[in-house]
Structure 1
Amino acid sequence: MIITCLLVLCIIAALNVVAIWHLNPKFSGNYSFISFLVLVSCMGHLMLGLSTNVDEAIVANKFNYAGSVFLPLFMFYAVADVCRVKIHKFVRTILNAYTMLIFGLSCTVGFSDIYYTSIEYVQTFEGVGNYVATYGFGHDLFNLMIFGFLIANVSILIYAFAKKKNVSFKCLVAMSLIDIATILAFFSSRLWEIDTLIMPAVYVFDQLALIYICFRVKSYDIGHSVLSVLEKNNTDGYILVSSSYRFLGCNEIAYEIIPALKNCRVDHLLPSGSAAIDFLRLWVREVRDGDYLDTKEYLSSVRHYRCYVRKVNVFRDRYVNLFKIVDDTDLHNYVQMLGDSNTRLKTVVKSNANQLKSIQEQMIVGMANMVESRDSNTGGHIKRTSKVVSILVDELRKDRQRKYEDTFYDALVSAAPMHDLGKIAINDEILRKPGKFTPEEFEEMKTHPEKGAAIVENLLSQIEVPAFVNIARNVACFHHERYDGRGYPRGLSGENIPFEARVMAVADVYDALVSKRCYKEKFSFEDAFDIIAKGMGSQFDPSLWKCFYNCREKLEEYYKSST
């Protein structure tokens, strides 16, 4: 019966490892390690239960320790991540080294008396294998590590409960339950010497709690990332609210606009009583019912605000409401003064539209820059490729044989900064890798165009005209396609590749050639020009050759002036 239970726990642990990775691969670093270590520890307990002599018991015990020694370390890192507490690199190094030392000492069992001074094989109920050991000073160091991480975890959780309102309350509760269950199980099993089944069961419980936390983290981190990007170059407030009226966070400007938000705790319901918060709650209900306006006006005692709402998908049919609050008091007062002067009113409206478009572009470029800041290989790439596209487009406008309107070319230039937005969904370990990718890593990188297209569509579909959304989506999705059909993600060829993506491909590759990367030196302008020329008809649209040739001097002047 016990062996059967251990086998079932191992199977559940293995399924949980897969579940955590597939649920949220981007943010599951520490969670994946913990879940895998739980699986290793459960397998060690199963091997111990199946052992028939002391040598087999020692091997199983070492397998068990491979999981249980490192679990406290990664659990500590997970607690710190959930509570948004930064651990200094030096401290991490010391903790990692100490944990490795404990694991090394545990491996001496059977060869030395450092960890166990003696060990004896026994069989418990139902003939389940186990051992009885006399502990050495090495095991005392293990207990010291357990107590140290226990105190650190409890301290961080108490601090987060008391001080950090921007941390999910539910995640804190789940993480606290993990610590409490693990601590009680550990000491109970040592006290009554019944750890064969108790510890694996508690470890699997920890996995299930981590799956819940991993799911919550995905929701909050998307909101946090969006808010961080939009915060850089704007003076607007941003607020995230769930469809169930729960406050998920906001930026500092939102706190200034609506002071009542300072009393709101993350993951708790928005309290009624404040006119501004009641305004948001009513809008959330309208969005949920499907009958809502994208834009509303809100008037406080002294300021006038224009407010926008956008639904941001976080998981399948789950979404959060992203509110944007723009202070347009000066514009509002000016329009009021204009009265019936239609000419002047139209001028102001046009200026306001241009201002809103500028804000949208700042949002887009801000997100693109955030992606680039994560990619250690492409510093300044977005700015340079955008300029290259602008230079190419200026030349294309002169070609009257092409039947594209100026609005198309304007949209192409505006969409250029978004071509690599999909990299926001690529794992940091791959994106920031200084050398060449492995085949598996390259396959992961090849997913960024389609992910970028989905992000672009989600960001722009409610604030831009469909024609612009389509151009921006095509630029993001197809700029790695080749004219001969050997590109990715879909292997399109020739005229099947949207024209805007063919232009972006030339700009993207040219910048990669003439710019220094951590894995290569930059090519000379002459070599880069020759490579692009040779690629016309295979990698690039040959109809762009004349345009590229005519732009050669301007491109080289730009790169010389920007270095």
Structure 2
Amino acid sequence: MMQAAYFVLLMISISYVFFLLSRFQKHISVYYILMTVAVVIVNLGYVQIAGAKTEEAVLLGNQVYCLAYPFLLLFTIQAIADLCKTRIPAAVRVLCICICLNIFLGASSAGRVDWYYRSVEMVIRDGYTFLQREYGPLHLLSPIYIVLTLGCELIIVANALRKKKHVSYFVSVGSLCLLILCSATFVGERMVGLKVELLPIAYTICAGGILLMLNRVVTYDVKGISREVIEESQEYGFVICDGKFRLSGADEQAKHWFPELNKLKIDYRIQDFSTDFLLQLKKWVLTGDSQNVVYFEREGRILEVCHSVSEMNRRILHCIRIRDDTPQQQYLKLVERYNEELGAQVKEKTARLVEVQNDIIVSMASIVENRDNNTGGHIRRTSDVVRVFVEHLLATDDSSALTREMGERIIKAAPLHDFGKIAVPDSILNKPGKFVSEEYEIMKLHAQKGAEIVARILQNSDDLQFKNIAVNVAHYHHEKWNGTGYPCGLVQEEIPLEARIMALADVFDALVSNRVYKGQFSFDKAFGIIEESFGSHFDPSLCTAFLQCRLQIEALYNSNLD
């Protein structure tokens, strides 16, 4: 009867092993398999004992049992330590292994040496065979070992919970309960003196509990699950070779995208580097660069090929990961095209806003000019002269300080040079004759006032350089090279370049236009006056360039723009 019961337990424990290997083969620690196998061996020992007819057969069954049960406890604490992400000290592991071997050797010497068993006797009662033992001094190792393993288990679980690691409370406490069950059964049998061995039942229950816990354990193995997902996915391919160009392996997906891999033999040095992929592989191995990514096009697909270097068993391995990156690349191209279209629209809108801004500036300057009956069309003419002059300077590089961007801003700022006249009284601005000294002093204030007004108008402008240039044009266009100008009396290059350019255009238009205090001068006389003012009123180098623009400037005035 008991033999049949133990045989049933043996079959159940064997089914556990097969279930483990088939269900959890990719996501299970070896310690769990060893634990379950140890339960099988324990049950096998009890089946042997229960069915034995001779004392030698009973002793053999006892040896089988003693081989398994101490290691069963060791595998248990190893597995739980693994779950709790804790490493058992090497000294403790060595001590446990020594105790296990001593228990096994002591039990194996039963009938020959009285260290573990003083005496053993086969007893058959009610058709049930068991071994009646009288324990020797070495048997003290068994309770010591049980206390040691139980203590290790308590420390492991307590330490994991105290540090609040990412450890399953269910698994840790469940494993502890199973260990306590086995230990309590072992101690209880010896204290009560039962003739029927209950340990096989406890061990089988323990194995069943392990299976229940494994249903959760596998979900915690993030690396293992990720690895399996990648392996089963058709998105990735892998190639591995060593530093001597010897192929270690390539999966089917890699061989599909790069058929040249089918011709290579494992562990043989690659000789033929005739394809772009193998040439890239050679480059990676020679340079040792890691985490490099290149792209290949195969069968209308874009493949991302990533290289990394790792070390295994003191051997440098080059790992190539291949991924079909076509959807991502298509998305990036779509985004790039969208950004280009959006950029073009933004550029167009910005240009339109700049055009509107320029129109507003010219319109405001024209409104100011309309108050002055003496200078009709002055704003438009001087702006055109500045444009011709700046373009000539840029084309001939006569002014190294002038850039294309700065030139465009000067042209844009030119209409604002007389903006300060808005603050001059009409009685002075429209006087039909020359100013007296007091009136002239008031008139000169238009430069300072213009700078202040332009600064306020452009205070929120995003283009700070344009703001500065516009303020300088309004403020300093009446300054003279020799320092006799107004409002600040600046000398030579103290005068901003934009103001020196504006001064030439402003004076030239005044010379060739009718004024209440003078008649219209001819071009010859106007250019002659400009030339005579070299080094006094005007910057000499700019004057030379201005005279070179004579034909273009005369063409402007001859086209009746005024």
TM-score range for the pair, normalised by the shorter chain length: 0.3 to 0.5
TM-score by length of structure 1 reads 0.45
Q: Which structure would you say has the larger Rg?
A: 2
Which structure carries more relative contact order (alpha carbon 8 Å, separation 6+)? 1
